[in-house]
A and B are shown apart, each in its own frame.
Chain A
């Protein structure tokens, strides 16, 4: 703050000179600064809230992907910068942050979001502005013609392929299945996936209970779930909801009567409630560090992550951050820059193998075709170390057959 009396005088002459110089400066970059301009990737993710643990891993892995590219000299000599924003797990907040990233920070592409509902909000914004968006959390809707655009890419697994893989490992003809489902897009889509898989296998649905998103107490649902007498209980929720729901189901003795199955078994939530609670729970996953025994890509990814994070291991949702950003940067590398149409073309043709084996984006809906893991949480006595959480029950290799057909999703084929 200037002291009173020392206010600098602005004459009309200096003001005019300053203004025109400013205008010239503003106009210049449009003409020729492209060569040394950094490539900016927007990264909205819920750093606060019940999915915070998974979100932080996403950021660490996304940063790793950026670092590896920068260490090799960037893309066409341009450095890459990751702009992380907290979307607070709120669709409105995510849309605002994304718009800001596009309008103010002039990002060249957006990667991120960790909720099926929030990613649709981000997608709305990016497709309206013609900016590439690589979604890295589960959703079926985002691939359907209604929400899809040529700018939309989905790196994560989707509920259809995840639930099908899990059901194949856990359900048999004639089994009775009950569902406890988070009452929002993720839960609804997982339930739909499980029911479709159940019908194909010939298992019977004995009931489903929707619970409010972010609930801390699940005890009130347990007596009714147990009175349904199912063989399998599918708990379709995410983040801390998963930890709390499984913990309380186990408290009520659910595991003595039925098997607990989840669409996506979360590394961080297993850590949050301990081995005894999760023992025997089966769920799907995009990634597990223990894959390194059978995959060179996983071993390389683990090594790079450990080196950058003081020996810590990467987790499931973290791996999405790495492959989401990594695949985008690989496509930019091929396209020789950030020209949107060229990058889209490169992404559609890209064959990448960053964490677990070959992957590619299917042309019609930009869904990443990839392997699906099915994991079982280990008994405490069977754990070889603190990080030895899961046994790999299945590693279904990537194939277009896992996905719903392009025509079913409403895409012209």
Chain B
């Protein structure tokens, strides 16, 4: 087995991990800041893919779909927070969990009614069709683009959280919402924005995954499971954890696929089990956190 094959394999692992990172990030931000385990995250990922496809065909360009779908679905997420989730703050963690679980069924069924339950083709944007010769092998242009875009989104997110005033409020709000309210910050608006951001990231993941898979109403269910595995490995609520764990899972799947392909799906659950045994709070999680 030569080195170039292993490098190609690593690259497909990173591309796979990039989509995982984006979806897990939305899940972990919402949990870390709001204490809401969003079971509708997978369904919103799927809605994002449909919205992206719809907007792309409406405007005639994939790029508008990629830009507008996360914003639109993010706004839809804010509506969900405002109308549904908001009423459940301060109650047991199970309440929003059950609510979002039910919501995911409503969303999936809604899409089945509107778009039908068969898969729909999501064409790859013409500029990114085909493969790029990397010298050691060929790699799909679209997947390289996904890696690059996710890197940019992560950078922007990190800069916003660490270097801006908004980021400061968000981080402080996650630590101690009461003090923030005493200091005169409208914490409700922060929470609204955070939930919108989390849902927007799910939608972005969906649009990005669209051209790699066929788009269908059930595409979110597997993604939800994967995103949960990633957040558990990385530590619930940890942003760095989601990034590291997402890439770790992607690369593990990819390398295991090289040697024992039939184990490729199981490996991420094995990884999760090992992490839970050694560090129950996850790689970057804080021990005893109840959010």
Contacts and interface: CB of A to CB of B under 8 A. Distances in A.
Interface of A: 48-50, 52-53, 56, 183, 209-212, 214-217, 219-224, 226-227, 240, 243-244, 247-248, 251-253, 268-269, 271-274, 276-277
Interface stretch (B68-76, B159-167, B209-217, B280-288): B209-217
Contacts of B137: 223, 226
B12 A219 contact: yes
A215 B212 CA distance: 13
Interface string B229-264: 000000000000000000000000110011001101
Contact of A273 (B12, B119, B140, B218): B119
B262 A183 contact: yes
Contacts of B5: 223-224, 227
A48 B216 CA distance: 12
A54 to B, nearest CB: 10
B9 A223 contact: yes
Contacts of B61: none
Given A220-B9, A220-B16, A248 B258 contact: no
B13 interface: yes
B143 A216 contact: no
B83 interface: no
Interface in B3-54: 5, 8-9, 12-13, 15-16
Given A50-B218, A217-B212, A223 B117 contact: no
Interface in B214-229: 214, 216, 218-219, 222-223
Interface residues of B, number: 39
Interface of B: 5, 8-9, 12-13, 15-16, 117-121, 123-124, 130-131, 137-140, 142-143, 212-214, 216, 218-219, 222-223, 253-254, 257-258, 261-262, 264-266
Contact of A219 (B16, B120, B261, B266): B16
A251 B140 contact: yes
27 contacts: A209-B261, A215-B265, A216-B222, A216-B223, A219-B140, A220-B12, A220-B13, A220-B16, A220-B253, A220-B254, A221-B261, A223-B258, A224-B258, A227-B5, A240-B216, A243-B119, A251-B142, A252-B131, A252-B140, A253-B130, A253-B140, A268-B119, A269-B214, A272-B119, A272-B121, A272-B216, A277-B121
A258 to B, nearest CB: 13
Nearest to B222: A216
A211 B5 CA distance: 18
A57 to B, nearest CB: 10
B118 A272 contact: yes
Given A211-B262, A268-B118, 12 more contacts: A49-B218, A210-B261, A212-B264, A217-B253, A219-B16, A220-B12, A220-B257, A220-B258, A221-B257, A223-B8, A251-B131, A272-B216
Nearest to A57: B118
A253 B13 contact: no
A212 B265 contact: yes
Nearest to A252: B140
A272 B120 contact: yes
Nearest to A271: B118
B269 to A, nearest CB: 11
Contacts of B117: 52-53, 56
A251 B124 contact: yes
Q: What 3 pairs across the A-B complex have the smallest Cβ distances?
A: A272-B119, A220-B257, A274-B121
A272 B212 CA distance: 13
Contacts of A210: 261-262
Given A211-B264, A252-B131, A253-B138, A273 B214 contact: yes
A215 B262 CA distance: 10
Contacts of B15: 219
Contacts of B121: 271-274, 277
A49 B218 CA distance: 8
Contact of B12 (A211, A223, A244, A271): A223
Given A212-B265, A220-B254, A251 B212 contact: yes
Contacts of B266: 212
Nearest to A48: B218
Contact of A253 (B131, B212, B218, B254): B131
Contacts of A215: 264-265
| Most chain B CB inside 10 Å of its own CB: which residue of A209, A217, A247 | A217
A294 B273 CA distance: 58
Contacts of B131: 251-253
A315 to B, nearest CB: 11
A225 to B, nearest CB: 10
B268 to A, nearest CB: 11
Contacts of B253: 217, 220
B110 to A, nearest CB: 16
A243 B264 CA distance: 19
Contacts of A251: 124, 131, 140, 142-143, 212
Given A219-B143, A220-B254, A220-B257, A244 B138 contact: no
Contacts of B16: 217, 219-220
Contacts of B262: 183, 210-212
